[in-house]
Structure 1
Amino acid sequence: MPIEIRELKIKVTVDDNAQKRNVADIKDIDALKNKIVKECVDKVMAKLNNLTER
């Protein structure tokens, strides 16, 4: 059974409004990005594991 894995791209645009980002905001954004990537990878891995069990 062939398995096709495509590239997932999520693009987010953040309006600066001439304000500087503080370190806490940058860390929060990075943490959110990492959480989203981890959840997506976990879902893909779960689907792959289900396919191999069948």
Structure 2
Amino acid sequence: MPIEIKELHIRINVDEGAKPNAKADASKSKGEDPVAECVEQVMKIMERKKER
């Protein structure tokens, strides 16, 4: 018998004082190709969506 979820609650804690990713700052200072950087980020986002 399948299970039906009618309601889903998601709770997130946001820390506004947190620093951005150190990895993102490092890649900007390298002077890499901005198009390649965008493609890499899009691919990571797509991988995360597949995991859901």
TM-score (norm 2): 0.46
TM-score (norm 1): 0.45
